[in-house]
Amino acid sequence: MNENEKLVIISTIGSENPEKASLPFVLATAAQATDVEVVVILQSASVVLATKGEAEKVNAPDFMPLKELIENYISMGGKLNLCSPCLKSRNIGKEDLIEGCTIIAAGTVVSEVLSAKSVVTY
């Protein structure tokens, strides 16, 4: 991996828009395939996608199912960070989340963004 190449992807889109919910993970796995370090941060409505059973419900036409996209991203070493206040406001606990998630706060978001070469938001 080229240590100078880091991409942070921030998503706020949940299951209400399957295509936009899938795109961050399509981009993430494409970047991983080119040896770019990728960090995905889910905020707002998108944190629900990381709850057990939710990604299975999201399938955008002409895209791999979201569950598979997320699994592939994590299995390739991707970091999946979730906004702590966003989880709390939705009454989502750590026990409700899929494996491979890290709960973070604003300071971590700032740190990740400042350390990245590029940031993409959805």
Cα distance between residue 43 and residue 41, in whole Å: 6
- CATH code, domain carrying 15: 3.40.1260.10
Residue 117: inside a domain:
yes
Residue 110: inside a domain:
yes
Contact criterion met (CB below 8 Å) for 11 and 109: no
Within a 13 Å sphere around the CA of 17, how many CA atoms are in the beta-carbon half?
Answer: 11
Confidence of residue 77 (pLDDT cuts 50, 70, 90): very high
Domain count, the chain: 1
> What ranges in the chain are assigned the alpha helix state H?
18-33, 66-75, 84-89, 106-115
pTM: 0.95
Residue 1: inside a domain:
no
Residue 22: inside a domain:
yes
Mean pLDDT of the chain: 96
Residue 60: inside a domain:
yes
Burial of 115 (0-12, 13-18, 19+ CB in 10 A): exposed
Query: Which tens digit of pLDDT belongs to each residue from 2-22?
Result: 557 999 999 999 999 999 999
Q: What is the model's pLDDT at position 3?
A: 58
Cα distance between residue 24 and residue 45, in whole Å: 14
The SS3 call for residue 110 is helix
- The domain in which residue 85 lies consists of 6-121
